[in-house]
Amino acid sequence: MLKEKGYFQRIRNHVRWLTGVVVVFLIVAATLITYQYTNNQVIEPDYASKIVVDPSSVQGAPSSGVGYRSKFDSPKRIATYASASRTPLEDLHGTITPSDLHFERHHAGIPEIDPDQHELLIHGLIDKPIRLKLADLKKYPSVSRICFIECSGNFRYGKREMTPGEVCGLTSQSEWTGVLLSTILRDLGVKPEAKWLLAEGADGALMARSVPLKEALTEAIIAYGQNGEAIRPQQGYPMRLVIPGFEGNTQIKWLRRIEVTDEPVMTREETSKYTEKVKNDKIRMFSLVMDARSIITFPAYPKKIETGWQELRGIAWSGRGKVAKVMVSVNDGKTWQEAHLQGPILEKAHTAFKFMWNWDGKPTRVLSKAIDETGYEQPTYSQLVEARESRGGYHFNPVVGWDVEKSGQVYLADIKDIL
């Protein structure tokens, strides 16, 4: 009996021991699996790998639903505030801004809008007020147009270590697709006393702006497409107003209402904001059109250049039409030469300019100046200050330059020193 009891005791001990091992194993396995699923990061060795794989001798990555950038060249927006981010102009090629690098400015965050729940109401001084869903909007004949959108508060300076995007990255260019506002209003019977329209967004700020009807009707688009896809939430999904050449704030995103009126509403954004102090103690309002401007994006901070030939590059644009000419100086304004403009030169669009320059290694300053088809020449800081008796504010578009030091290092030139 005792012998038998000891035997069972031993078996029981074995079973206990085995159960213990299995439990420990299961805990370890569960921990590892949880770790794998919760930790998505690729584990990189913390030393430089000596193994270089020749891409022509291995199979590459498979295809995917959505493409991605090369990990070696992946520009980011410059986030300045929670309510704004800038386009890294210095990282772009050509003139189209990738949609995910388009600058952002919002006054109550980015709303998430289900297009099935969203409607655009058009009413006011018209015979037939209507409600349109996104699907309705897409039924109208469509237009596509490449143009820039620029915030009118798009100039920063104050230190040498600033990139083109930090100086004026609140401008971006897209191909916008949608319906001309005139196409829709043609159906609705606009009354003769109609002079303005109020556009209102569906965001937390119910952002609203008044725009003169005559100017808006010729070119305004109610857009739903941006660079071949739906407008991104940051740019106004599912629909926004695009008024080529006008200041960005008028191009209401998340558009939910258009009221045709005889008078401007005088919203906060067209009185307390987006107005600028000018001379004789005046405040200028409804400064809607963006004046001509340019910036050299190479060479620019933080780049360092080598002596010899380089292609000086930049973008120029005007809200009043085409860029006629861009003049560049590689000797701090002593002499100016005409840059090559990349065609097609489109109205109210970023236009790329280039200039071949043989740098001799001596410290110098490079400058650019846009001239548009109306004959407007981009002013210097001192010319603007003199004309407005104001040292900044909205619609401040001075000539900007870059100092090239002996080492080839490039810095933002002191704006007050550009004559």
Partner 1 sequence: MNSKFMVSFILGCIVVLLLRCSPAGESTAFTDTGPESWTDNLEEYKKTWPDKFGIGRSADKDFIARWDIDVRPDGKGLPKGTGRAKNGALIYSNKCASCHGINGVEGPEDNLVTSSNGRNTIGNYWPYATTIFDYVRRAMPFNAPGSLTDQEVYDLTAYLLFLNGIINVDYSLTEQTLPAIEMPAKRKYVLDDRQGGPEIR
Contact positions toward partner 1, by CB under 8 A? 107-108, 121-123, 128-133, 136, 139-141, 143-146, 183-184, 187, 198, 200, 204-206, 208, 256-257, 259, 261, 263-268, 271-272, 275, 278, 281-289, 291, 320-321, 343-347, 372, 374-377, 379, 383-384, 387-388, 395
Ramachandran angles phi, psi of 34, nearest 5°: -60, -45
Give the count of beta carbons closer than 10 Å to the beta carbon of residue 88.
Answer: 20
- Find the shortest distance in angstroms from Cβ 92 to partner 1: 22
- Find the shortest distance in angstroms from Cβ 261 to partner 1: 8
Distance CA 395, CA 43 (A): 48
- Find the shortest distance in angstroms from Cβ 339 to partner 1: 18
Q: Which is nearer to partner 1, 5 or 128 (CB)?
A: 128
Q: Which is nearer to partner 1, 208 or 230 (CB)?
A: 208
- Find the shortest distance in angstroms from Cβ 132 to partner 1: 4
Q: Which is nearer to partner 1, 261 or 409 (CB)?
A: 261
- Find the shortest distance in angstroms from Cβ 329 to partner 1: 19
Query: Which pair of tokens denotes residue 263?
Result: 């008078």
Q: Which is nearer to partner 1, 88 or 201 (CB)?
A: 201
Q: Which is nearer to partner 1, 104 or 200 (CB)?
A: 200
Q: Which is nearer to partner 1, 28 or 356 (CB)?
A: 356
Q: Which of 264, 368, 388, 379 is nearest to 326 (CA)?
A: 368
Q: Which is nearer to partner 1, 230 or 345 (CB)?
A: 345
- Find the shortest distance in angstroms from Cβ 234 to partner 1: 19
With H, G, I as helix, E, B as strand and everything else as coil, classify residue 289: strand
**Matching residue, tokens 């143009």:** 147
Give the up-direction half-sphere exposure of residue 12: CA atoms within 13 A in the CB hemisphere. 6
Query: Which pair of tokens denotes residue 384?
Result: 């603007």
- The answer for residues whose C-beta is within 8 angstroms of residue 335's C-beta and 6 or more apart is 329
- Find the shortest distance in angstroms from Cβ 65 to partner 1: 31
Q: Which is nearer to partner 1, 285 or 356 (CB)?
A: 285
End-to-end Cα distance, the chain: 111
- Find the shortest distance in angstroms from Cβ 159 to partner 1: 24
Query: Cα-Cα-Cα-Cα dihedral of 316, 393, 267, 347, to 10°?
Result: -10
- Find the shortest distance in angstroms from Cβ 104 to partner 1: 18
List b or e across 135-153, with b for residues whose CB sees 16 or more CB atoms inside 10 angstroms: eebeeeebeebbbbbbbbb
Q: Which is nearer to partner 1, 275 or 297 (CB)?
A: 275
Give the up-direction half-sphere exposure of residue 326: CA atoms within 13 A in the CB hemisphere. 31
Q: Which of 290, 285, 265, 263 is nearest to 274 (CA)?
A: 285
Question: Per DSSP, which regions of 53-207 are E strands?
Answer: 78-81, 84-86, 104-105, 120-124, 130-132, 143-150, 171-180, 196-201
Distance CA 212, CA 229 (A): 30
